[in-house]
Structure 1
Amino acid sequence: MKKNGVLVLSALGCIAGPALAQSSVTIYGVMDAPVEYVNNVARGVPTVVNNQLVSQPGGSRLSVASAGLSSPRWGLRGQEDLGAGLSAVFVLEGGFGVDSGVMTSNRLFGRQAFVGLQGPYGRLTFGRQYTSIFDGLSNFTPTRYAVLYEPIAWQLGVNYRSDNTIKYLGNFGPLKAAAHFTFGAGAGAVGFTPLGNGGAGETAGNFRDNAGYGASLTYLGGSVGATVVYDEWRPAVTTGQPGTVRKYGAALSYEIGTVKAMAGYRWNRSSFANGNTFVRDDYWWAGLTYRVTPALGLSLGYYYADIKEARVGPTAPGTKPANPWQVTFVADYDLSKRTDVYVTTAYARNAGLNFDSTPISFATGYIPTAGQKGMYGLAIGVRHKF
């Protein structure tokens, strides 16, 4: 829904003189509410006892989930024409759960909050925004980063949305380039606890704490697509002692009519400040999407991680967990251009859904109960975009 900038900001109680200069302001959002069944899910994260993770009890869960194919959100997007092909742009975006109406973080605009300039040679923005690896792989994921069920945090890293970031985006015909530098991400990283300096990383004498950078180059021409990505982040649990999380990867896609096939690979090594490996894995995925009719779309994804080594702490012994894999299927039917209904289901082995597992990740709330090697999920939902 588009409105004059003064009217939209007035409705939000934010009238100010500079708002009169806006060429346009758009208020937008997504509402998504599924009913979900999951089995073998624990009631909480494991506890660490003698360098071993002890799983919590649990069982099956039936609930209205807080997110479905999309994370519920609302936002403001604005642009002002400055002349000579130059524009000022901004985005403010916050997330919430449809099941409760509660914000998904303690931030009003925890998803995105940035401002910048856009011109013939690209866009330069400043603030909280997605990293380059997110942009580079967005066209090569089987279910388009669906919250239910795609291992987004495993694939991209928990820092895929970062504070204090400078980012460049450029479109040159079929080529799209992205690059970013983060002065400090941590406290607002997805599913991650606060780090040294509160996650800000902007402390005198500790410039490297929680800083990160990355780039991606993507080709989308006709029926063929390809991308290469790189991402590095230096989380500091203790001020002045950052670890290292380094990822690189590549993906390909090919379309024939209404069928699109894709496959990708992502290398990762995450290490503690003392140099010991937290997680070293090779992650692979493949998928198919098929537009059966103009209204009905099907998606199928397969995900596999070859975990070389993992530790629960910087001085714990290294282990070789069983390799997790997952199959995901989505059937999505458009009732209109803005409203759809869907069924999505997934089965994960040697991990919880979305690769929530022990001793690796507890980012999305699908942690398996003790002794369980598999987890199944099924959700039926409705989504509306405005």
Structure 2
Amino acid sequence: MRKTIFGFAAVCACGAAEAQSSVTLYGVIDTNIEYVNKVGEVPRSTNNFNSGQGQKVFRENAGGYSGSRWGLRGTEDLGGGLKAVFVLEGGFNSDTGTMQQGGRVFGRQAFVGLGSRMGQITVGRQYHSLFSTIANFIPARYATQYEPTALIVGPNFREDNTVKYTGAFGPLTASAHWSFGVGTSLPQVSPTIPAAGGTGEVPGQFRRDTGYGAGLNYVIGPVGFGIGYDQWNPTIGTGNGTFRKAAVMANYAFNSTAKVMGGYRWGQNKAPDGTLLLRDDFYWIGGQYQATANIDFTLEYNYQNVKSIGGSSNFANPWQIALIADYRISKRTDIYLTTAYSRNAGLTLDSAANNYASSLALGNSYTLASGQTSMFGAAMGIRHVF
């Protein structure tokens, strides 16, 4: 249950008038037991970019259906239709008690802003516009376990030093953002794909590690449409690359229990000198079905058409199919089974084409072992929302 504290007073030392406000403590604890086959190591220079021999893995994970997290969110009524807002949210490993996102206390989100009838402007660490736009059009809703989030929207989907606008106008929702320094770093995982990213905000280097994008959602009756764009300019060597993504998407609700959705994402990554590092097309389709009041299913199929990677077109196109079955014991507690099968890449479609970003971020390898062409994984877990 979310714990809400009401009636905080905005009172200065000289005795200013009180303003109505609220602060909410919330979170999710999600832990599961998982089996995965044919698991290798993330390729690096230390292992000569060789993922090694495949292994079967049995392990306990934090975050399967949702990433384990805790946070604070609050609002204050400033009068005249204006309000102050903030969110502080940190991810943690429920299996070990350690912090995620590189040990950041509030690594998932940390922002403050102002909102009115015209929209909301927030500043701080937050999700970029393409991530927010696709959220309602992706069947698994970015479920942590096997969702190829970093491949769909980029490993920079959370960005530091960001100014973001979000506005809702009837059936239309619009968002746009600018990051002065994204704060995402990708190591070298292939001889032909260099390390990228950094902290940004360096004097005299305005473009360094910046990012920007925008998105639009439009929902009318049972039909929804979306379009979004994202650009990240990561440091590569002594210059800045240009990583671009654009997507279109749609969904259709047959009734209150069944919905189908799908989309297409175009991607292009270039080095500072214009050399093409990656060109790919990504497609997804699937649906959500609520079988009973307590049971629902999610099915999602993903396909990546890798046209060029590191100057080569000799790359087998990865695909993955995933199924989630969820049973709600109560309003706040559920148990779930999630499974996935991938070809030509590891689960979450981790490969050199996304710099193995999911494996590196999760701390659990889904790298496909050397000489293997498929991977299967399954996990059963419990999730509690408070």
Tell whether the structures are fold-level matches, with TM greater than 0.5: yes
Q: Which residue of 1 aligns with 2:37?
A: 39
Q: Which residue of 1 aligns with 2:142?
A: 145
Q: Which residue of 1 aligns with 2:270?
A: 271
Render the CA deviation track for 1:73-126: whole Å, top value 9, x for unaligned.
Answer: 000001000001110000000001111111012211011000000101000000
Query: Where does structure 1 lack aligned partners over 5 or more consecutive residues?
Result: 8-16, 312-316
Match of 1:351 among 310, 335, 345: 345
- Which runs of structure 2 are paired with 1:18-167 in the superposition (5 Å)? 23-42=21-40, 44-48=41-45, 53-104=49-100, 105-167=102-164
Alpha carbons of structure 1 residues 152 and 189: separation in structure 2 relative to 1, 3 Å: same
Supply the distance in 2 between the matched residues of 1:97 and 1:357 (Cα, whole angstroms): 24
- Moved >6 Å (runs of 4+): 188-194
Check the 8 A contact 2:356/2:367 in 1, yes or no: yes
Alpha carbons of structure 1 residues 161 and 189: separation in structure 2 relative to 1, 3 Å: farther
Deviation at 1:235? 0.2
Check the 8 A contact 1:113/1:129 in 2, yes or no: yes
Alpha carbons of structure 1 residues 295 and 190: separation in structure 2 relative to 1, 3 Å: farther
Supply the distance in 2 between the matched residues of 1:360 and 1:133 (Cα, whole angstroms): 17
Q: Which residue of 2 aligns with 1:369?
A: 369
Write the letter of the residue equivalent to 1:176. T
Check the 8 A contact 2:72/2:88 in 1, yes or no: yes
Supply the distance in 1 between the matched residues of 2:292 and 2:358 (Cα, whole angstroms): 33
Deviation at 1:361? 2.6
Supply the distance in 2 between the matched residues of 1:349 and 1:274 (Cα, whole angstroms): 33
Deviation at 1:359? 5.6
Q: Which residue of 1 aligns with 2:12?
A: none
Identity level (%): 48
Supply the distance in 1 between the matched residues of 2:184 and 2:287 (Cα, whole angstroms): 36
Check the 8 A contact 1:304/1:326 in 2, yes or no: yes
Deviation at 1:273? 1.5
Render the CA deviation track for 1:265-290: whole Å, top value 9, x for unaligned.
Answer: 00000111121122110000000111
138-147 or 360-369, which deviates more: 360-369
Alpha carbons of structure 1 residues 84 and 191: separation in structure 2 relative to 1, 3 Å: farther
- Which runs of structure 2 are paired with 1:167-246 in the superposition (5 Å)? 167-187=164-184, 199-239=198-238, 241-246=239-244
Write the letter of the residue equivalent to 1:171. A
Alpha carbons of structure 1 residues 289 and 58: separation in structure 2 relative to 1, 3 Å: same
- Normalising by the residue count of structure 1, what TM-score does the alignment of the two structures yield? 0.90
Deviation at 1:136? 0.5
Check the 8 A contact 1:191/1:363 in 2, yes or no: no
Deviation at 1:205? 1.3
Query: Where does structure 2 lack aligned partners over 5 or more consecutive residues?
Result: 9-14, 360-365
Deviation at 1:6? 8.6
Match of 1:321 among 304, 315, 331: 315
Supply the distance in 2 between the matched residues of 1:96 and 1:41 (Cα, whole angstroms): 24
**Other structure's SS at 1:4 match:** strand
Supply the distance in 2 between the matched residues of 1:369 and 1:357 (Cα, whole angstroms): 11
Write the letter of the residue equivalent to 1:250. V
**Other structure's SS at 1:64 match:** strand
Write the letter of the residue equivalent to 1:34. N
Write the letter of the residue equivalent to 1:370. S
Supply the distance in 2 between the matched residues of 1:296 and 1:129 (Cα, whole angstroms): 32
Check the 8 A contact 1:186/1:194 in 2, yes or no: no
Check the 8 A contact 1:310/1:360 in 2, yes or no: no
Supply the distance in 2 between the matched residues of 1:256 and 1:136 (Cα, whole angstroms): 21
